[in-house]
Structure 1
Amino acid sequence: MKFKNLKIVTLVFIFVMLNGCSFYRTDYVKSKGGNIESFGRETILPQYTPPRNCKVLFKHWNQRFVVYDLNIKKEIKELTGGNYFGYSFNVKSDYYTVGDSYTNGFSIVECDGEKIKEIYRLKDQRWQAIFPLATDGKNTFFIVGYYKPAPGHKINERYRIISKWDYKNRRLIEYQYTKGAICHGAIIGRFLYYTSYDFGKEQYKIYRLDITGVKNKPQLIGKFERLLGLYNINNKLYIWNDKEFFCFSKPTEKIYFKQAFDVIYTGNNNILVFYTDSFARIAADLIDVKSRIVKKTFTNVVAVNFEEDQVVVYGDGYIEKF
């Protein structure tokens, strides 16, 4: 994948998360062979059975599922269907959300390495969207966006709200006092930490929410001009602030990035920092958060997957586990 395409996808993702689905203009949809009446059509998920010794993986930087051949150690196919895009958590999870950039049709899906299975479809397929927010393996939260038609053939965002996934009853439960331009989240104990963007003051606000009750009100605990991610590392809140990564309670002890388009926490005090190298290839540094030392660098990365107690990096020509 070329850097230009990566940059476009990254910008589109940021635009979606900050501005909702306002890019769904009627003239744009028609230019792609659709129309405003097509909104609400379910997303066409890729239907594909991988050959023997292959795995279905999620390539989060281009928001697509791909097939990886374990023998030759290469990506052999990008799974397509309609014009779906997927969204993932920044920690271990088999859950993803998918939607179609022309028709909406959002749902929660699960990928077990072989099949992509829909487990929940939003009730309002036309005017709702859903994105991953935070999970700790027991509690899983999503951002649910609500939209409405607007003058000039646009679709404006009404609001976003935090919803918890009810595993037993397979439904979403809304936390009624969490409306806002929600972007990032992390769970620590019984608290969900999340960000909401204040467009008027052009800053991110960090809130803490006691998740034991859906009527609990969030508390404001911090403000930042730039913020791209929240993380739970050893029960402490960490911030990814563009080119800086640090503990919220110790902001002077920072890890500095020359460049990074994504950061995921892999456990055991390690983060994977993704960037494009000088050859426009996807690369990642494995960094120890405590020592701030780069332990290993991966190049030509295809995908990263959590498998049992290990993190597996699938590269072009190699597979590494740690």
Structure 2
Amino acid sequence: MKIAVVGTGMIAREALTALRRVEGVQVVTLCARPQSREKARALAAEFGVPQVATDYGAMLAAHEAQFVYLGIVNSAHFDYARQAIAAGWHVIVEKPFTSTLAEAEELIARARASGRYVFEAMTPLFLPNYRGMLEMLPMLGLIRLVQANFSQYSSRYDRYLERDVAPAFDPSCSGGALYDLNVYNIALIISLFGRPQSASYMANIGFNGIDTSGVATLRYNGFAATAAAAKDSESPSFFMIQGEAGWMRAEGTPNALPSFTLGLRGQEPEAMNRNRHAHRMVHEFEAMRDIFVRGDYARVEEGLRTTRTEMAVMEKMRLMAGIQFRAD
């Protein structure tokens, strides 16, 4: 399985770090904008990538790989993915999948029509610890409360306070705490419990109309789920499920689920870790490789259904909070 990585930022570096640990997967090209050519060359040399491209269309036309991984600014996900699908490529799109529900629906429709494998790189849903939590969920009995928190002080927040706006805090780039961090909480909740009956979002809005932190509430039959995320402050992150017969709590950031504890009423809590790799992204690339090798398009469809629901819920919450993206 051959992959072309697009992007030279932090997430592209993370992907390259993970991909060199995945057997049967080869990164053959690193693609960047012309102004990032030297950065791309340095990154390619560091990770042993044989080619650097600065013309995305020409790279797609050359077809020297099967998959393209898009580790680029959120607002560019849709256009780059659409071009790749049209050129016959399979696509791995970093979260959030797109800026709007309409964009997500179009990409999903195009992927289905052409039989392309299109994944959202939603790391927790590919982790063995997530599968363990999913298996043990019925042991908790009737669910009564779900709480999630992903809060980390952004390295770009001080710049933002000085009115120097990075893409992560730019509404025109589809940034903000909801789409950058809370997307992991919401994807986990939706994948475990399905579409909520209702959803709302209370956000702390910065000077340019972007959310720097906020709390989402998803209402289900018999319980509520709250998902907090912050780029303007920090605290211990976790993912907690409470049922009438017990509880589960994943410690650490919800995008990595580094461990989880099962506590059943009347029993000693048991800590577990089923993840095989320290780097969270290795698991997802291994899973995508295996799905592709098996020709398991049903698993692709399963992921796309979750992605579509996630995008629909987030868009509703975002607009409710008055956060407008350029893509709207």
The structure with more strand, counted as a fraction of residues: 1
By the TM > 0.5 criterion, same fold? Answer: no
**TM-score (ref. length: structure 1):** 0.32
The structure with more helix, counted as a fraction of residues: 2
Bigger relative CO (Cα 8 Å, ≥ 6 apart): 2
**TM-score (ref. length: structure 2):** 0.31
